[in-house]
Amino acid sequence: MTTIVRVAARGDGVADDGRHIAFAAPGDTIAADGTVQPGPHHNVPPCRHFPACGGCQLQHLDDESWSDFIVERVASALAAQGLSAPIRMPQLSPPRTRRRATLHFDPAGRLGFAQEKSHQLVDVQECHVLAPELFALVKPLKRLLPSFKPKRRLDVHLALADQGVDLLVTGIAPEGLAHADAISAFAQEHRLARFAFDDGMGPETRWEPDAVTITLGNVPVPLPPAAFLQATREGEAALVAAVREAVGDAGIVADLFAGLGTFALALPGRVYAAEGARDAIAALKAAAGRAQRLVFTEHRDLFRRPLTTAELDRFGAIVLDPPRAGAREQAAQLAASIAPAIAYVSCNPSSFARDAKTLCEGGWRLDWVQPVGQFRWSTHVELAARFSR
Ligand SMILES: C[S@@+](CC[C@H](N)C(=O)[O-])C[C@H]1O[C@@H](n2cnc3c(N)ncnc32)[C@H](O)[C@@H]1O
């Protein structure tokens, strides 16, 4: 009899004889005829759409084995670069806390998550990851969107802002009085914070009774449509706590790839924030100014123009939170910097490990990694890590 011993990066169970078995959890056993006997870590998937829906890959794991999966992803990415570090217990976001998601609507009337490597959409009737405020719009949207007669697939971006749900539909620009009335009626009935459409020319807001904000570090920040937000409030809090710990009382801190200021506004002292998205950095600048926070902003492409070693050396600590590709160019400059500490936040263990290797070759030590599971039941892994000299 073979036993599942771990979960591979894409979510398959890996047996002690090396076989990959789909939807098997550690501790499950595989009988001679190939049937999976659930073990103690096999979770009964709570959702009827699992595994067909693209939103979740790991509902068959209990939290202990999901947590082990996350730790192993980080450890194996580091090991592939010849590195190791203390990896802390992952901080897992509970079900139904996702406050930002993109669903898709197809002309056949299905609304759901996209599956990896497939064009099929599962028409979601229930969801155990979305915040209830977001899920509550699924059925009403399925009634509204067909009235615009879309000819191709639409993207439906949902985010939970301070004022309620911020909704952006891309791929269509409804025109005419009837559509305008339908949009206003829908927004009013569902108390939307904002309703915007984008057919390739940039978001056009059709409803926004009060300026939409997202509060970060107690500061309400204007929220541009479809701007980056950490996926859950719990995930944001875990990452912020790890960054604060990593930075300590560093004096002036640089926050690179700052977005709307998730970290810049959560740090107590003076912060320099750099970000490539113009609308995000403008929002952070305005919010920090209004709240009289000492955040100095710069619109800067950190791939093309990373902070130089001389610039970095002026800071007491550097926070960086790049996109999935990582921060190859910035890491090369950081490797030679004498700044005392780095807090590296990443949504991709592989690019993180590659950049960590560059830093360690420059004499930095990787002190710890705090994984964060804010995409519940998915193979997505986030983390915050501390490097010191
Ligand atoms: C993972 S998000 C983090 C944002 C922010 N730290 C937060 O936690 O909300 C990555 C950010 O990097 C920005 N970005 C992507 N490419 C960039 C580049 N080449 N230069 C500067 N910023 C970039 C994105 O606009 C996005 O805001």
Along the chain (389 residues), what's the average pLDDT of each consecutive run of 10 residues? 93 94 95 92 96 94 98 98 98 98 95 83 96 98 96 96 98 95 98 97 96 98 96 98 96 97 96 98 98 97 98 98 98 97 98 98 98 96 97
Q: What is the pLDDT of residue 120?
A: 83
Please identify which residue in the block is written with the tokens 């009060």.
210
Pocket test for ligand 1, best of 257, 260, 304 (most atoms within 8 A of CB): 257
Given CA atoms 251, 254, 259, 260 in this order, what sign does their dihedral have? Answer: positive
Its ipTM equals 1.00
Are 85 and 369 spatial neighbours (Cβ–Cβ below 8 Å)?
yes
Q: Please tell me the predicted confidence (pLDDT) of residue 117.
A: 72
Residue 7 bridge partners (DSSP): 13
The reported pLDDT for the residue numbered 255 is 98
Q: What is the pLDDT of residue 115?
A: 79
Q: Which three-class secondary structure state does DSSP give residue 83?
A: coil
Q: How far apart are the CA of 83 and the centre of ligand 1, in A?
A: 26
Ligand 1 lined by 321 (C-beta under 6 Å):
yes
The single-letter DSSP state of residue 264 is G
Contact 186, 136 (CB under 8 A): no
Tokens 């036993």 belong to residue:
3
Query: Which pLDDT belongs to residue 118?
Result: 76
Q: Is the CB of 126 under 6 A from ligand 1?
A: no
Region class of 202: left (phi > 0), else alpha (psi between -120 and 50), else beta: left
Q: Does this model's pTM top 0.95?
A: yes
Residue ID of nearest Cα to ligand 1 atom 22: 276
Nearest CA to ligand 1 atom 8: 262
Q: What residue numbers does the annotated binding site cover?
A: 230, 257, 275, 321
Q: What's the CATH superfamily of 229-388?
A: Vaccinia Virus protein VP39 (3.40.50.150)
Question: 368, 385 in Cβ contact below 8 A?
Answer: yes
Hey, where are the domains in the chain?
Answer: 2-65, 100-210, 229-388
Phi and psi of 272, rounded to 5°?
Answer: -100, 125
* Candidates 53, 127, 347, 360; catalytic one: 347
Quick check: CB of 258 below 6 Å from ligand 1?
yes
**CB distance 228 to ligand 1 below 6 Å:** yes
Q: Provide the token pair at 295.
A: 């955040």
Residue 53 annotated in active site: no
377 C-alpha to ligand 1 centroid (Å): 24
Atom of ligand 1 nearest to the CA of 227: 27
The tokens describing 139, both together, are 């059925």
**Any ligand 1 atom below 6 A from CB of 280:** yes
* Fold of the CATH domain 100-210: OB fold (Dihydrolipoamide Acetyltransferase, E2P) (2.40.50)
Please give the Cα distance from 216 to 266 (Å, whole number). Answer: 7
pLDDT for the residue numbered 34: 86
In order of 67, 315, 345, the CA distances from 236 in angstroms are: 18, 24, 11
Q: How far is the CA of 155 from the centre of ligand 1 (A)?
A: 21
Q: Is 303 in the pocket of ligand 1 (CB under 6 A)?
A: yes
Q: Whose CA is nearest to atom 12 of ligand 1?
A: 257
